[in-house]
């Protein structure tokens, strides 16, 4: 509980610093990029749309930061609200019915929020993997390359790549456990 309080105080200081000096916004971005992306990517159809919306959310956040008022709610909640609005705007522009589950409800739902936080942590942890495991994860899951293509690109045997993939997933699983212990 104390740790959570400490983190909130920390975040508040970061937000206030960025309100005074927009160049400090980078720190808020670093802390929240994975959260916003994880929120958005589950609600759209493809990667391009997810990137577009994530970019939209952070630009809106930067522009509206001076108007953000600290009321004890995490900064991420403000970003999620903005993301939900951005998605709704996009759906409206595209003339689509808002057939997705109500985003506003999701933001309030503690279970959904925990899952979101876990996915964001996972995305973050990929950056902490040993470099060869990181490359395999990115090539396999982001670029959707086959084991053979990765083996050729990395000049390793297919067996070695499968081994790296296995270790990377194990590693991530273990780090996730520690992060959410």
Binding residues for other proteins, rule: CB under 8 A, are 21-23, 25-26, 29-30, 33-34, 37-38, 41-42, 47, 50-51, 54-55, 58-59, 62, 81-82, 84-85, 88, 92, 98, 102-104, 118-119, 122-123, 126-127, 137-138, 140-142, 144, 146-147, 159, 162-163, 165-166, 169-170, 172-173, 176
Q: Which is nearer to other proteins, 58 or 75 (CB)?
A: 58
Q: Which is nearer to other proteins, 11 or 147 (CB)?
A: 147
What is the 3 state secondary structure string of the chain? CHHHHHHHHHHHHHHHHHHHCHHHHHHHHHHHHHHHHHHHHCCCCCHHHHHHHHHHHHHHHHHHHHHCCCCCCCHHHHHHHHHHHHHHHHHHHCCCCCCCCCHHHHHHCHHHHHHHHHHHHHHHHHCCCCHHHHHHHHHHHHCCCCHHHHHHHHCCCHHHHHHHHHHHHHHHHHHHHHHCC
Q: Shortest Cβ distance from residue 155 to other proteins (Å)?
A: 19
Q: Shortest Cβ distance from residue 154 to other proteins (Å)?
A: 15
Nearest Cα residue to 82 out of 49, 101, 59, 51: 59
Nearest Cα residue to 120 out of 32, 47, 52: 32
Q: Shortest Cβ distance from residue 166 to other proteins (Å)?
A: 5
Q: Which is nearer to other proteins, 37 or 75 (CB)?
A: 37
Q: Shortest Cβ distance from residue 11 to other proteins (Å)?
A: 18
Q: Shortest Cβ distance from residue 29 to other proteins (Å)?
A: 6
Q: Which is nearer to other proteins, 10 or 89 (CB)?
A: 89
Q: Which is nearer to other proteins, 11 or 35 (CB)?
A: 35
């Amino acid at each position: 509980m104390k740790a959570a309080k400490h983190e909130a105080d920390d975040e508040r200081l970061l937000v206030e610093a960025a309100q005074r000096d927009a160049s400090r916004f980078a720190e808020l971005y670093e802390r929240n990029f994975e959260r916003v992306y994880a929120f958005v990517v589950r609600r759209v159809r493809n990667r391009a749309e997810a990137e577009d919306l994530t970019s939209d959310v952070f630009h809106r956040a930067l522009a509206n930061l001076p108007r953000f008022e600290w009321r004890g709610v995490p900064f991420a909640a403000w970003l999620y609200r903005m993301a939900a609005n951005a998605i709704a705007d996009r759906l409206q522009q595209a003339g689509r019915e808002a057939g997705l589950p109500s985003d506003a409800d999701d933001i309030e739902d503690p279970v959904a929020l925990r899952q979101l936080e876990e996915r964001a942590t996972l995305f973050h942890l990929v950056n902490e993997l040993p470099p060869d495991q990181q490359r395999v994860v990115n090539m396999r899951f982001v670029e959707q390359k086959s084991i053979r293509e990765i083996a050729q690109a990395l000049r390793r045997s297919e067996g070695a790549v499968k081994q790296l993939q296995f270790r990377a997933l194990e590693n991530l699983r273990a780090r996730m456990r520690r992060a959410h212990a």
